[in-house]
Structure formats: structure tokens, C-alpha cells
Amino acid sequence: MNGVNTSNTRSRHAGNRKFFSLLQRYRSLLQRLWWVIAICLILAVGIESLLIRNAPALFSSVGQMIVNVKLNIKENSLYTEELGNFLGTQQALMQGQQVSSRARERLVGQFPNLTVPPPVKLEVSLLPKTTIFMLRATGGNPDYTKAYLQACMEEFQEIKRGVEKRASDVTIAGLTDQMLKLQPDMRKVDDEIASFASTNDVGLTQEANGVANYLSTLYQQLAEARSEYSLLESTTLDQSLVIERERSSGSVLPSQMAGAAREDNSILANAAVGNQSTASSGTIGTEYLSIKQHILLLKAEMERYGDYLKPMHPKMVELNDQLDRLNRTLAIYKDQTVEQLEARKSVLDLKIKNLEGATKKLGEHKVELDRKNAEYNRLKAKGGRLQDLYNQLLATLQTVDVNKDIGQESVTIYQPASEAFVVNPEMSKKMFVAGLVGLALGLGILLLLNRLDDRMTSFMELEELFDEDVLGQIPREKAPAKDGTLPLLQPEDPRHPFVEAYRNLRSSLLYTANTGTRPHTLLITSSVPNDGKSVTAANLAITLAAGGSRVLLVDADLRKGTQHRRFGIQADTGLSECLTQGLDWHQAIKETQTPGLHLLPRGAVMHDSGEYFIGPSMQQFLTDTVKEYDYVLIDTAPVMAADDVTSLAPRVDGVLFVIRAEFTSARVANASLDMLAQRKARILGLVFNSVRPSLGEYSYYRYRDYYSGHATK
């Protein structure tokens, strides 16, 4: 999870950096080439001004048409117009080709002086929150423009009347045809209803309702019989008797059977002789349950006496006899009860079969009645629909016919065409559009130039294009107008950001770029001339010397070196004489105004310096100078200008490569770095020179209070 989050964070940061880099590039592009947009704006506005000035005069005539309230004679009339889509339709028709053609044909002969009718532009708009159309005709001839607008409005009305008349005629013909087609269908339905009534009773609905009610009663009885039969089938004898007793009203078992033995004897005697008092319930099942309850009570009595009487005690013998008689009587009642239950089940089975037969027959009769009733209702409904449709068509036909004769115009002329007047050419609007076109053209040119330009403008862009470390950024400083040469760093130099940038470069060189032994011999170069490598070498040497180091600045650009001029030193001899004539370099070095800094000038101009750079004299020179100086800075020719750098770079401890903002081509700089890498040169890093301070990523210009004499608290 942490790896995924880190990857997403890096991707987001890379995207942000790319976005701000592109933003700063466009900002720099606008600062450098703003005049391109200005020229495009001036050209576009100027051309539009000439076009407006030379354009012929235009005249406009204005008229109005209004939508009237439509008079509808009948409801549901087919000859009505929906206002929602009507307004847009009429507006399109007014501007249509048919209206324009007929208007021009009407004006033929009215203007004999015009051999060719001048072009006229017709515009139609709807006034807000109204049903009024505003018509504007614009042309070069005022009289023709007015007549053309009036002809368009009148021809539109004529076209509208023709359309309405054709629509009415077509509608009437269609309605009449439909009515003629409906009449045979209506007669056919009437015949079918009469035929059905002659063969069937018209009271089918009442009969069907009566059959449905009776059938519902039979279904209820059938359900009750099936339920009772199923209950008798699934219950035991005792359960059936209990259910039967609860179902029969007034059939309740006696509750005074918890008396003494005398009462038991009386009940047994009555049961034996068939006394009516023992069968007060009126059913054998009730007596069966009553005797069974007596047996249970008698057994309980015997258990109670058995606790203190012996089995042969007269009382116990008497109770045993009573129990035997009751068991025999119970068996008799049980057989009779079973027979009664079986008889009941047989009766229920027969009842179920009869009810099923009756419901089936009535159901078939009910289905037949429903079918006939539905057929009759379908015929009546069909006849009613045909009659309603016929009546509606007849009413619509009468409405359309009346409207055709007395109908109002839906759109009429509210204000005739006015006298033509000179049209304002809308100069401000056209100028604004021309300005937008010029702005778009200028931005397009800038984007095209940006696509073709691969020069770096910001630090982030530099990091994206190169893999090497960026050791420092040098801000852009304006050179004095008198000679165009940028002054070197001085003690108490007021260019504080400029000074701090070189101090930062010194720190990067001493610490961040230190991957092993600290470099003592440094070669400063660039890809092409005017990248600022010589100024960078001189100021870096001054900064290193200001830090207490002994520094030797060597002007190794033997073709066009100018370090002696920058330091204001007269030098007749220098590195050229040391390499070609064997002059002791100690005699050629010059002291500068900066303590600890010495300069070895160029000397005489040479065009074959590369031959000496790869020779032993140069190697001996480097070996000797390192023994006496902490740092030896070598200013050489650009990589693409001469082979001197590629010959000398492998012999030094490291190379500083200078890239000038908004000047050095990224393609050329990469090619130069590749050439140095092929020679196995150790490239310490890049120096981004002449960076525009107004860029937000350059920090030294943000905190100028640190360099002012009175800092804020």
C-alpha cells in the first residue's frame, strides 16, 4: 500500500511540475513575443476598418406581423393551430425560399431602372413575450428594399391562405370518405344485434347473476361436506365423537359424575335396562362417552379403596362387578357408534358426489351464459363505437366546412413596411470580432513558434529535458548600455541575487556535486557561443577566491578568449606562449583585484589549439598548477564551435556545462553533452544562466528584504 501511495504521489507531483513548467514557458513566451499579438490585433482591426469604410451603404425597412386569436366554431376541431410550434414554423416560412421567390416575381416591372434585382437580406425575429414578428429587410436600394419587405409579408399571407384552403379541402374529402366507409359497418353491426336478440333471451345478465349466486351456494355446501368428510377420515373414534358433540347444539356431556358409589350404581342400572335418563343427550355417541367417563371414575374409586381394602373385600368385589358390566355396555355402544359414523361418512360421500355433479352442470351453464352475454355486449359496444366515430366525423366535417368559409387569418400584417433608412454598420461589433480574430491569430502564431522552439525557459523545464544535475541558476542582469559588457562581481556588489546565485553554485560545487575527491581542475564550457560561459567562469572564480581559496582562472579559448579584457588586464603573453614556446606559466599569470585569484590570459590567437591540448605540455601544465592552487578553472571554446573542449575535457576533474535560458537549444545542448560523454568526460552538472527573475520558481528575488539595509521586523 505504501508503495502504491508513493507512486501515486510521485506521479501527481510530476504532473504538477509539468503543468507549471508549461505555464511558465507560455508566460515567458508572452513576455518575449507580445509584439506578435499586438501586430496581429492592429492588422485585423485595420483591415476591418478599411472594409467598413469601403463597404457600400445599406438601407433597412422594418415591418411587423401579429398572430391573431383563432375562432374555433366546434370543439375538437381539426382546423386549429398549436401555438407552441406554430410561432417557430411561421418564422421559418417567412424566411423560406418560396416567399422570397414570389416576392421578387411580384416586383418585376415595378422597377424598370433595375436590370438586375439587388440582393436583399430578410431577417425575422419574435419580440419577447409577444406573438409579434419583427421583419427587417436590408439592401442597397432603399425603394426596392421597402417594396421587397411589403411583398414578402403579402406573399406570405397568400401562401398561408392557399395552404389553409388545401388543408381544408383535403380534410373534408378525407372525412367524407371515412363516413362513407363507416356506414356499411354500422348496418352490419345492427343486423348482427338483431339476429342475436331473435335467438337469445335479452335478460342474459339477470339469469347469469342468478345462476352465479346459486352456484356459489352449492360450492359452499360442497366445501363444508368435503371438510366434514375429511375430518371424519383423519380422526379417531373418540375425537370424532367429541367433534360431533361440539358441532351439535345442546349436546353436552353431564358434569355431575364425580358423586358417590350410589350414583354410579344407579347409572349402571339405568344403562343396563336402557333407561331414557342415561341417554339424555339423544345420541349413542354421547352415551358412549358418558359410560367411558364412568369407567374412569370407577377405576379411580377402586384405586382409592385399594389403598386400605383387600381385593376380596365385599366393597372391592362390588366395584369389580360394576366395572365388568360397564365395559360390556361400553363395547356395545362402541359398535353402535362406529356403525353410526360409517353411515355418516356414506351419507357425506353421496352428498359430495351429488354436489359435484350439480356444480359441474351449473358451471357449464354459467360459462355458456357468460359467453352469450359477452358476445351481446361486444356487439353493442362495437355498434356504439362506430356510431360515436360517425357522429364525431360528422361534427368535424361541419366545423371544417364552416371554418373554411368564415375562418380568420392566423398571421396578419400589423405594421406595413416602413421607409428605408441607412443602417448603422455596427462598427463596434465588427471591430470586436476583428479583434478576436487578430488575438486568435496571434496566439496561434505563438503556439506554432513554441512548437518549433526547443529553448528552455524555466528550471523545471530544464530538469525534464536533461538527466544531469542542475548545480545553480544565475539570474538575468542587464548590461550597461555604454559597452554591453556585464560587469564582474565586486566587493559589496549591490546585485545581491546575482551574488547569491554564484555563492549557491560554489556550495553545490563544494558539497552536493562531491561524489568522491573534490574536483580541483574545472572546465567551464557551453554548446554554442554567447551562452555566458566566460562570465560564469570569471564570477565563479571570484566567488571561490572570496571564500579563501587560491584560484587560477585559465582562458583556454585561444581563438576568441576575452577574460583579460573583463578583468582590465593588459596581457601580451599567456597560455598560447606556454604551449607553443615553452614559456613558464608563472611568468604569464596576472594578479587580479580579487585576493587569491590569478588569471592566465589567452595570449596570442591560435587556430590549432586542439593539437596542443592533447599534447604533454598541457598535461604537465595541469599537474603543476594543481600543486599551487586549490582550484584551476579553465574557460574554453563552445563544444560545437571547436574540438578544443572534447580534447581537453577528459584531462580535468570535472566539467561545468552552461545553458542560457531562452537562448540555448535543448537539441544542441544534448548533442554537446553526448559528445563530452563519448570522450569519457566527467560532467559535474549544469549551470542555468540568464534566468528571468520574474519567474515564480526563482526564489532570490522574492526575499529582497534580506539584502536591504533596514530589514523589517
Q: Can you give 231-278 as a three-state secondary structure string?
A: HHHHCCHHHHHHHHHHHCCCCCCCCCCCCCHHHHHHHHHHHHHCCHHH
Mean pLDDT of all residues in 600-623: 85
- Residue 164 pLDDT > 80, yes or no? no
Helix (H) or strand (E) holding 298: helix 284-305
Determine the angle formed by the axes of helices 533-546 and 496-507, rounding to 10 degrees: 80
- Contact yes or no for 533/539 (Cβ under 8 A): no
Distance CA 520, CA 629 (A): 8
Query: Could you read off the pLDDT of 440-493 as tens digits, one per residue?
Result: 888 888 788 777 777 777 777 787 788 888 888 888 888 775 666 788 888 888
Most confident of 81-85, 242-246, 268-272: 242-246
Q: Among residues 392, 371, 419, which one has the least CA distance to residue 150?
A: 419
Among 6-20, 241-255, 326-340, 686-700, where is mean pLDDT lowest?
241-255
76 — alpha (psi -120 to 50), left (phi > 0) or beta? left
pLDDT at 515: 55
Task: Find how far residue 202's CA is from the centre of its chain.
Answer: 67
pLDDT at 14: 56
**What are the φ/ψ torsions at residue 540 (nearest 5 degrees)?**
-65, -40
Distance CA 248, CA 251 (A): 6
Distance CA 317, CA 334 (A): 26
Q: How confident is the model at residue 5 (pLDDT cuts 50, 70, 90)?
A: low
Query: Could you read off the pLDDT of 666-685 as tens digits, one per residue?
Result: 889 899 999 988 988 888 89
Mean pLDDT of all residues in 166-191: 77
Distance CA 106, CA 152 (A): 9
- Residue 201 pLDDT > 80, yes or no? no
Among 227-236, 486-495, 534-543, 636-645, where is mean pLDDT lowest?
227-236
**DSSP 3-state assignment of 320?**
helix
Mean pLDDT of all residues in 418-440: 82
Cell of 378: 361486444
**What are the φ/ψ torsions at residue 121 (nearest 5 degrees)?**
-100, 125
pLDDT at 294: 84
pLDDT at 400: 63
Concatenated DSSP letters of 8-72: HHHHHHHHHHHHHHHHHHHHHHHHHHHHHHHHHHHHHHHHHHHHHHHSPP-EEEEEEEEEPPP--
Bridge-based pairing state of the strands 654-660 and 551-555: unpaired
Q: 59-180+405-422 — its CATH code?
A: 3.30.70.1130
Most confident of 181-195, 401-415, 582-596: 582-596
Radius of gyration of the chain (CA): 61
Residue 65 bridge partners (DSSP): 133, 413
Q: How confident is the model at residue 658 (pLDDT cuts 50, 70, 90)?
A: very high
- Residue 356 pLDDT > 50, yes or no? yes
Distance CA 137, CA 149 (A): 6
pLDDT at 279: 37
Mean pLDDT of all residues in 30-35: 78
Query: Could you read off the pLDDT of 94-127 as tens digits, one per residue?
Result: 888 888 888 888 888 888 887 788 888 889 998 8
Distance CA 661, CA 462 (A): 9
Among 54-58, 236-240, 357-361, 706-710, where is mean pLDDT lowest?
706-710
Q: How confident is the model at residue 203 (pLDDT cuts 50, 70, 90)?
A: low
Q: With helix as H, strand as E and coil as C, how does 442-468 read?
A: HHHHHHHHHHHCCECCCHHHHHHHCCC
pLDDT at 521: 92
Distance CA 103, CA 156 (A): 9
Handedness of CA 419, 420, 426, 430 (dihedral sign): positive
Mean pLDDT of all residues in 592-606: 90
Most confident of 1-15, 33-47, 453-467, 603-617: 33-47
Cell of 330: 361400553
Determine the angle formed by the axes of helices 97-107 and 83-94, rounding to 10 degrees: 50
Distance CA 74, CA 78 (A): 9
- Contact yes or no for 590/564 (Cβ under 8 A): yes
The architecture (CATH level 2) of 496-509+519-684 comes to 3-Layer(aba) Sandwich (3.40)
pLDDT at 27: 73
- Residue 264 pLDDT > 60, yes or no? no
Q: How confident is the model at residue 687 (pLDDT cuts 50, 70, 90)?
A: very high
Determine the angle formed by the axes of helices 237-247 and 204-234, rounding to 10 degrees: 140
Query: Could you read off the pLDDT of 45-85 as tens digits, one per residue?
Result: 888 888 877 777 788 899 998 887 554 444 444 445 455 57
Mean pLDDT of all residues in 689-694: 80
Mean pLDDT of all residues in 252-258: 36
pLDDT at 7: 56
pTM listed for this prediction: 0.47
- Residue 11 pLDDT > 60, yes or no? no
What residues contact residue 55 under an 8 Å CB cut-off, 6+ apart? 425
- Residue 254 pLDDT > 70, yes or no? no
pLDDT at 119: 87
Query: Could you read off the pLDDT of 277-311 as tens digits, one per residue?
Result: 333 334 677 777 788 788 888 888 888 888 888 88
- Residue 396 pLDDT > 50, yes or no? yes
Distance CA 537, CA 531 (A): 12
Cell of 344: 355418516
Distance CA 319, CA 301 (A): 8
Q: How confident is the model at residue 595 (pLDDT cuts 50, 70, 90)?
A: very high
Mean pLDDT of all residues in 580-596: 89
**DSSP 3-state assignment of 706?**
helix
Q: Among residues 58, 159, 66, 59, which one has the least CA distance to residue 416?
A: 66
Distance CA 508, CA 685 (A): 9
pLDDT at 697: 54
Residue 632 bridge partners (DSSP): 521, 552
